[in-house]
Amino acid sequence: MELLYLLFSIFSTTLTTLALSLFLPFRLLFSSRAAPPSSVSLYQGTVWHQRRRPVHHSFNYSVRYALYELNHDSHSPSDHFSADEARTIAKTNGPVFLLTIPPSVGYEQNPLSIYYCYDIEGSSKSLKKCIAEDMHGSWKIKTSEPEDNLLVEISVQHPKLGNYFSASLVARRVPSSATDHALFFWLMPHKVALWIYWHALKLWWKKVQFIQHPRYSNPAYKEEAMARDIKLSSCTAFASDSQYKSEANPVTELKDRSAEGHLFKWRDAKWPWC
């Protein structure tokens, strides 16, 4: 039955993508004179994934990201935190930027989103906290401020598998004034999904056990996730030694501290993402 749902989802998504892609040239024609929003920056780079346990598996792919300034932009994805929500979580008072892959022609596939929360101190601003949307595990995240160059490094300590997974994003800002955003991100979520499911198939071929989403086996998974989230710690930012660190592009490392007013926002994953 789940296979039928998956096949139906692929079929319906393909039809929607095809229809909206056919309308894309007309949208570009009528919006060619409109200036792109100045509060969105575009990045292009490479993502590396490495899984160490239970078997070794690694791959990389090209990716495109958008950085939204949530204070001013009204076109940021609607299913993310608002600037005020992020400031409440981070206890900051300055601008908030969201790094994410926006939906394209009716489809969304976004493995990780990061909020950069700044404090205003006098006439200057400084990065104080980052918020990452991700899954269960002990996560260590290192990130640079999103300027001309962007670096995100992730390592995950799993309760049973230990230090089993790491990933990184290295990207450069591209000129956004001469680029239509819909065209820039055309089929980007689809490409990410293809890479993820293709390598999931390779892991299955390597006899890595498939882990079903708990919603199919545990009716109380939401309550358990919320209870577990209360125990999670927030993160504080501080400078870290790194080959990417410089005065113009400092690296911020996020580590645990005691939980203070940790907030939780539930969002169900859209099929077939699980």
265 within a domain of the structure (yes/no): no
Give the model's pLDDT for residue 169.
95
Distance CA 268, CA 154 (A): 23
Which phi and psi angles does 5 have, rounded to 5°?
A: -60, -40
Q: Is residue 5 part of a domain?
A: no
φ/ψ region of 207 (left if φ > 0, alpha if ψ in -120 to 50, else beta) reads left
Whether 13 is covered by a domain: the verdict is: no
Instruction: Determine, yes or no, domain membership for 1.
Output: no
The pLDDT value given to residue 240: 38
Task: Write down the pLDDT at residue 117.
Answer: 93
Q: Which residues is 165 bridged to in the sheet? A: 51, 156
Q: Is residue 119 part of a domain?
A: yes
Q: Into how many domains does the chain fold?
A: 1
User: Is 25 a domain residue?
Assistant: no
Domain containing 98 equals: 36-209+222-256
Three-class secondary structure of residue 7 per DSSP = helix
25: part of which helix (H) or strand (E)?
A: helix 2-30
Buried b (16+ CB within 10 A) or exposed e, 74-113: eebeeebbebebbbebbebebbbbbbbbbbbbebbbbbbb
Q: Going residue by residue through the chain (274 aa), what tens digit of pLDDT does each one get?
A: 566 776 777 788 888 888 888 888 877 676 655 555 668 899 999 999 888 888 888 989 999 999 999 876 556 666 788 888 889 888 899 999 999 998 888 888 888 889 999 999 888 889 988 888 776 667 788 889 999 999 999 988 877 777 888 999 999 999 876 578 888 899 898 898 888 888 888 888 888 877 666 777 788 877 777 776 666 544 444 333 333 343 344 444 444 333 444 455 566 655 554 4
Judge whether 81 lies within some domain.
Answer: yes
The helix/strand/coil state of 243 is coil
